[in-house]
């Protein structure tokens, strides 16, 4: 199976979305996507067809993000209320600010998960990858990917439960204690 740059480039938006949620920096996400595309294109000859190009590209991008954080010896930044205010729309600014703050809070909890669990949650819920695609990205079996995702979601629920009041019947389902 021969894969060209155009097949990888078709997945740029999805991969950028995953990276942006992880690194929370537009320029860094763009740099990591560009580097991932470059590496994927250079190594396209080694793609054996076991994983889809999107899955392979996402795995490369996640490894680059891990390498970045390891090299910098820091965690991804958290969203503050000041940043959330910038995201508010003109129609319902209070609700938009609360939603942005809640999203930042939840994403902060996601970033504190163990690496493989965090990656599985991001790939499944933010990139929309299937269990099989997550397995390929994490270099594990599909059954193990399901377990990692399940444990990640359980840990996320527990973490949120300790620090937040959850009410999924409410329009804003998460409020910090």
pLDDT number for residue 146: 96
pLDDT number for residue 89: 45
CA dihedral 108, 113, 114, 117 (to 10 degrees): -110
Nearest-CA neighbor of 137 among 56, 68, 65, 36? 56
pLDDT number for residue 152: 93
DSSP string over 36-47: HHHHHHHTGGG-
Residue 153 to residue 150: CA distance in whole angstroms? 5
Q: Which residue has the tokens 């493989």?
A: 116
CATH architecture designation of domain 1-77: Orthogonal Bundle (1.10)
Which structure tokens are listed for 136? 């390929």
- Write the CA distances from 30 to 19, 22, 47, 107, integer angstroms: 9, 12, 23, 19
Q: What is the CATH number of domain 78-177?
A: 1.10.10.10
Q: What is the pTM of this model?
A: 0.56
pLDDT number for residue 166: 64
The number of residues in the chain equals 177
Nearest-CA neighbor of 131 among 38, 22, 55? 55
What is the block-wise mean pLDDT of the chain (177 residues), using blocks of 10 residues?
69 84 86 90 71 75 80 56 44 55 68 88 81 88 95 90 70 60
Continuous segment of H or E residues that includes residue 13: helix 12-23
Do 53 and 47 contact (CB within 8 A), yes or no? yes
DSSP string over 56-125: HHHHHHHHHHHHHHHHHT-PPPPPPHHHHHHT--SSSHHHHHHHHHHHHHHHHHHHTS-HHHHHHHIIII
Q: Phi then psi for 128, rounded to 5 degrees?
A: 70, 25
**Domain chopping of the chain, boundaries:** 1-77, 78-177
């Amino acid at each position: 199976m021969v894969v060209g740059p155009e097949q990888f480039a078709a997945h740029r938006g999805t991969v950028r979305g995953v990276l942006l949620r992880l690194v929370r920096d537009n320029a860094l996400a763009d740099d990591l996507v560009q580097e991932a595309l470059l590496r994927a294109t250079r190594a396209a000859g080694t793609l054996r067809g076991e994983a889809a190009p999107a899955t392979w590209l996402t795995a490369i991008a996640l490894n680059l993000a891990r390498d970045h954080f390891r090299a910098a010896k820091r965690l991804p930044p958290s969203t503050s209320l000041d940043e959330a205010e910038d995201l508010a729309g003109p129609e319902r600014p209070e609700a938009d600010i609360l939603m942005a703050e809640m999203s930042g809070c939840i994403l902060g909890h996601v970033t504190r998960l163990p690496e493989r669990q965090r990656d599985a949650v991001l790939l499944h819920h933010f990139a929309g990858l299937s269990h099989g695609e997550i397995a390929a990205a994490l270099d594990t079996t599909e059954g193990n990917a399901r377990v990692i995702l399940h444990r990640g979601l359980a840990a996320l629920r527990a973490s949120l439960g300790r620090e937040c009041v959850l009410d999924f019947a409410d329009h804003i389902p998460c409020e910090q204690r």
